[in-house]
Amino acid sequence: MLQFIVRRVLLLIPVLIGLTVIMFAIARILPGDPVSLAAGPNATQAEIEALAVEFGLDQPIWVQYGQYVSGLMQGDLGTSLLTRRPVAADIAAYLPATLELVFAAMAIAVLIGIPLGLVTAVWRNRWPDYLSQVAAIGAISMPRFFLGLLLQLCFAMWLAWLPLGGRLPIIVIPPPSVTGFLTIDSLIAGDWTAFTTALSHLAMPAIAMSLSPLATIMRMMRSSTIEVMQQDYVMTARALGLPRRQIITKYVARNAVSATLTVIGLYFGWLLGGTVLVETVFDWPGLGLYATKAIISQDMMPVIGVALVIGLLFVFANLVIDLLYGVINPKVRYS
Amino acid sequence: MNSSSSLSLSRRGLLTMAGVGLASTVFPRKIFAQAGGGVLVIASGQDIPNFDPHTATGYSASFFMRNVYDPLVRVSGNPPEPQPGLAESWEVNEDGTEFTFKLNPAAKFHSGNPVTADDVVYSFGRSLKLAKGNSWMIRDIVTPEGVTAVDPATVKFSLTAPYAPFLQVLPWIFIVEKAAVEENLGSNDGETYLMTNTAGSGPFNVARVEIGTLYHLARAPEAWQAGGGNLDGVVWQIVRETATQRLMIERGEAHIAVDLTSEDMDSLEGAPGLVRVIEPEYRTFSIKMNTENGPCADVNLRKAISYATNYEAILDAAGYADLMIGPLPHGILGHDPELEVYRMDLDKAKEYMAKTETPEGGFTLKMMHVSGLEQQRRWALIMLDSLKQLNINLEIVPMNWPDMVAACRSPETFPDMFPVYQTANYGDTDNIAYAAYHSSRNGNWQNAVYSDPDTDALIETARTEIDPEKRVEIYGELQRKLVEDAPDIFGVLERRKLAMRETVQDYQFTPVASNAIEAWPLSLG
């Protein structure tokens, strides 16, 4: 197992190299002149050139790449051309908000999607099944940002239950940062007001992001449950007269979840990459907003940094999922 | 909020506003009760990039500097007038090359140390050395050797040449505490340190920062500035949607909103408890033509286009704005309101068209605009329509801003028409004239291609002439010359649109950096 983990972590290296190479290539291909833009309208030609030298942009692309990689080894993700802030510090500031959103969305999707899939499989071809199938198709095909707008209309305007955007209103002093997740930090600090406020801000964007994975997880869970229920051992258990509830919880659910895990892993990356629109709709100060701003001004270091971090998290998420297979089904061997 | 009256808004705007409205229903209005009577909340769309007064740029950074740091000289009023800042008084020699400033003995940094001439010398030296941020304003005029400490409370500037706008430039060069920066120099003159730390003497200091969300400045306990308002602090809150800013100001969740659109202003008309500030400022919006390459290199074609343009339509599309009279903004030193400029006149347009090599038209010009900016798109359509009358086709190309900036690098890549905003960064004509028409700016987007030795000479003479009357004369000549050359279609001056609660007192409009609000004089009633 340890060998498996080591191998998977080593596999990260080519993935990251690939990501950096692609991002550098894109930066080179793109038209536009980020240096002039960053230097400002009043910069002289000499100043623009000095800025290019300062950021190493006068060097051939492979030299720039080499410098970037050697910085990367020391945890340096470069400096934003536009704000002159270190990218690593920016990402550290923005990442927790995005992760909180992604984890919350994932939690909703898993906690509702898996039981719902199980239920619809058991009640196959009856009305709850049909109803949830139709709802699932709707949820999968609905764009997230549009769903976000609909939620705002419903829960913010008509029902007046939830705030529209942001993470906390300015009157609420955020709890001391431990995890960077406002909900968890406020629990740690024992600050209930901050917790409920943070939760109310988190609810809508998390729901908007969760619906599509929820529906997919549900459908996946349903079909794998149906498949498992037709296996010989389930038939045997039934023939032996084991209680239906016991068969489903003990034998069927476990096996069906393994297949669904893969989908969950893939969705983690999908959610990370897809926060841009939802964060914009909800004014959520996360990586998505940060990346959008950088992309618009062709500030490549932040863009590469965000792509790397998302890629890294994606690979880790899948590693965790792979390890979970073994936890859920001891028959899985890592070799 | 009455939802039926909001339905004319965009769906997005409606939703956004609804949500904010909601936020305040869910979290009752204890904002200001909790924050104390004196915390002013400014809603703005722009984040503060970093705290270093010698590298950061943008209006959000200007807001930060104006409140956390002090310059030698402040600026306020309309027209903008230099006021004492760190310097309580100053003297100028006869030919305008030597300025001597007496520092206010009360002035001290947040550390408690007094502000000395050494700090001033150090700050100017640092700004020039880093050559970033606002240093372009003093480049070639102030040299590191030219700033000297006569005694701890006196600083002398020996300029390389007489420079009329000097006092107008000083409000944008801020003074840092030498000792505090030198302790934290690192490998880059303290850039890393000052990015997130401050070493200023301004009336406020940083109390709380949530990057991308809010910047809370609290009144510095050792604030030495005399007078001022009753504010305990000021919050710069990032609100990206203008519709959201509008609703916040309506509901009293923000005291000032700085990025409102004309539509927002319309809907705020008559709103209870609100004051709308709609004032002309030194900010021009015109269409530059390629005077070096392509058909527009012919001055007769440029004149024909200038006469064919439908200025009324351009004004209509601009919202709260005034048509420009020539190249300079209204009210700025030397602006000539009587200047004869182009207005729509098809006969004259055709007359000039006849003088070109292609009197019958029949060719296509290219106009770029920033994709997604509705007003620029409308202007492009107006130009399309106007040019049809000369039998000229217009190809409209929406582009990203970085791509447009890149296109400005050479006359070959510069389009035939290019719409651009130009903001005065300091309150002197020299700023606009130099940025927009001096050939040294060629290759930059503010003046990508226009180059004329006579124009250059006029601009240079005006900046070294210290007699205001003579400057007015020179700028008059410059305006006539530019109208004759017609490098731009002179468009509009958009008015600055701010909305504030009636409780904000003692606000005074200044036509430079008017959305980077100086909070010190303000009070909350």
At B450, the pLDDT band (50, 70, 90 cuts) reads very high
Distance CA B180, CA B111 (A): 9
pLDDT at residue B286, as a whole number: 94
Q: What is the largest CA-CA distance in chain A?
A: 86
Range with the lowest mean pLDDT among A209-223, A226-240, B121-135? A226-240
Tell me if A151 sits within 8 A of A208, measured CB to CB: yes
Inter-chain residue contact B26 with A160, CB threshold 8 Å: yes
At B37, the pLDDT band (50, 70, 90 cuts) reads low
Q: Render A87-144 in DSSP notation, one character per residue.
A: HHHHHHHHHHHHHHHHHHHHHHHHHHHHHHHHHHHHTTTSHHHHHHHHHHHHHHHS-H
Minimum-distance CB partner of B406 among A33, A156, A166: A33
pLDDT at residue B367, as a whole number: 96
* Higher per-residue pLDDT: B433 or B227: B433
At A47, the pLDDT band (50, 70, 90 cuts) reads confident
Size of interface A-B (CB pairs under 8 A): 155
Mean pLDDT along residues B60-82:
94
Distance CA B5, CA B392 (A): 43
What is the SS3 assignment for B134? helix
Mean pLDDT along residues A217-228:
87
At B169, the pLDDT band (50, 70, 90 cuts) reads very high
The type of residue at B327 is P
Mean pLDDT along residues B222-228:
87
pLDDT reading at A27 higher than 50: yes
Cα dihedral value B428, B434, B436, B438, nearest 10: 160
- A235: Cβ contacts below 8 Å, ≥ 6 apart: none
Minimum-distance CB partner of A164 among B19, B49, B213: B19
pLDDT reading at A173 higher than 80: no
pLDDT at residue B3, as a whole number: 35
Inter-chain residue contact A37 with B435, CB threshold 8 Å: no
Mean pLDDT along residues A211-223:
88
Interface test with A, best of B32, B239, B444 (most A CBs within 10 A): B444
Distance CA B103, CA B123 (A): 14
Tell me if B462 sits within 8 A of B469, measured CB to CB: no
Q: Which of A110, A5, A19, A39 is nearest to A303 (CA)?
A: A19
User: What does the block give as tokens for B418?
Assistant: 């290019």
Range with the lowest mean pLDDT among A182-191, B176-185, B315-324, B390-399? A182-191
pLDDT reading at A87 higher than 70: yes
Distance CA A271, CA A273 (A): 5
pLDDT reading at B298 higher than 80: yes
Judge whether A167 is closer than 8 Å to chain B, CB to CB: yes
pLDDT reading at B130 higher than 80: yes
pLDDT reading at B44 higher than 80: yes
Judge whether A32 is closer than 8 Å to chain B, CB to CB: yes
Contacting residues of A for B55, CB less than 8 Å apart: 84
- Tell me which DSSP letter residue A32 carries: S
* Higher per-residue pLDDT: B139 or B416: B416
pLDDT reading at B12 higher than 60: no
- B141: Cβ contacts below 8 Å, ≥ 6 apart: B159, B160, B161, B163, B166
Distance CA A213, CA A211 (A): 6
Minimum-distance CB partner of B19 among A45, A94, A157: A157
**B496 phi, psi to nearest 5 deg:** -70, 135
Tell me if B493 sits within 8 A of B422, measured CB to CB: no
The type of residue at B91 is E
Q: Evaluate the omega torsion of the peptide bond into residue B79 and state whether it is cis, within 30 degrees of 0.
A: yes
At B1, the pLDDT band (50, 70, 90 cuts) reads very low
Inter-chain residue contact B18 with A298, CB threshold 8 Å: no
pLDDT reading at A181 higher than 50: yes
At B487, the pLDDT band (50, 70, 90 cuts) reads very high
pLDDT reading at B30 higher than 50: no
pLDDT at residue A294, as a whole number: 86
Q: At what angle do helices A253-273 and A192-229 cross, to 10 degrees?
A: 130
- β-bridge pairing B233-238 and B256-257: unpaired
Mean pLDDT along residues A297-306:
87
Interface test with B, best of A82, A282, A283 (most B CBs within 10 A): A283
Beta carbons within 10 angstroms of residue A329's beta carbon: 13
H or E element at residue B492: strand B488-501
Give this complex's ipTM. 0.72
pLDDT at residue B175, as a whole number: 97
Mean pLDDT along residues B254-258:
94
Inter-chain residue contact A161 with B210, CB threshold 8 Å: no
At B16, the pLDDT band (50, 70, 90 cuts) reads very low
pLDDT reading at B21 higher than 70: no
pLDDT at residue A245, as a whole number: 80
3-state secondary structure string, B28-85?
Answer: CCCHHHHHCCCEEEEEECCCCCCCCCCCCCCHHHHHHHHHHCEECEEEECCCCEEEEC
pLDDT at residue A333, as a whole number: 66
At B269, the pLDDT band (50, 70, 90 cuts) reads very high
| Average pLDDT value over all residues in chain B | 89
Minimum-distance CB partner of B402 among A37, A94, A161: A37
pLDDT at residue B351, as a whole number: 95
pLDDT reading at B7 higher than 50: no
At B312, the pLDDT band (50, 70, 90 cuts) reads very high
Mean pLDDT along residues B342-367:
94
What is the SS3 assignment for B161? coil
Tell me if A141 sits within 8 A of A245, measured CB to CB: no
At B75, the pLDDT band (50, 70, 90 cuts) reads very high
* Higher per-residue pLDDT: B81 or A161: B81
Judge whether A165 is closer than 8 Å to chain B, CB to CB: yes
Mean pLDDT along residues B251-272:
90
